[in-house]
Homo-oligomer: A and B are copies of this chain.
């Protein structure tokens, strides 16, 4: 891909639950698969899963490993190619440090949310990514969305994905697919 190296970060902490409490949400099997396949399709550099919970990190590692080795890798090699993008990390700070080590420059943080106050348009940010060489991290929240402290730390906030009318409750998997298409699709 020409332009900025862009990775996805799926945050399981800090995110809100339905009562606006900050929680660690659970890793979901299909979040790993669907988002890895979308990330590979749209040419992203990496897909980071963030959870501070050791047990959840182990679970994610098992799911990924199943498709990377042995029977799973043979049965469906295209899953392996997608899951090779996935890394499990304890915190966003860890990921930022890793990316900075790899590229020699700190990544810009790009937040998304169903009620976010946008700082860019999709068309404008698409062009910005094409002409940049700075690494970017696209942050997505699970549960009821990214905690305010993450939104506040972001350098860029993307517009919410809106449909027709008031109902606006896409799964994070659907939101990721649409946003990657808007930024990198043909």
Chain A positions within 8 Å of B, measured between CB atoms, are 1, 30, 33-34, 37-38, 40-43, 78, 81-82, 161-165, 167-171, 173-178, 180-182, 184-186
> Which one of A1, A169, A175 has the highest number of Cβ atoms from chain B below 10 Å of its Cβ?
A169
If over half of A's interface residues share one DSSP class (helix, strand or loop), that class is named, otherwise mixed; here it is helix
In the complex, what residues of B have CB within 8 A of residue A1's CB? Answer: 164
Contact A41 B168 (CB under 8 A): yes
CA distance A90 to B37 in the complex (A): 30
A169 in complex: contacting residue of B78, B171, B182, B186, CB < 8 Å: B78
A177 in complex: contacting residue of B82, B169, B170, B186, CB < 8 Å: B170
In the complex, what residues of B have CB within 8 A of residue A82's CB? Answer: 167, 169
A selection of 28 A-B contacts at a CB cut-off of 8 Å is A30-B173, A34-B173, A37-B170, A37-B174, A38-B170, A40-B163, A40-B167, A41-B161, A41-B169, A42-B163, A42-B164, A43-B163, A43-B164, A43-B165, A78-B169, A161-B185, A162-B185, A163-B180, A163-B185, A171-B173, A173-B174, A174-B174, A174-B176, A177-B178, A178-B181, A178-B185, A181-B181, A181-B182
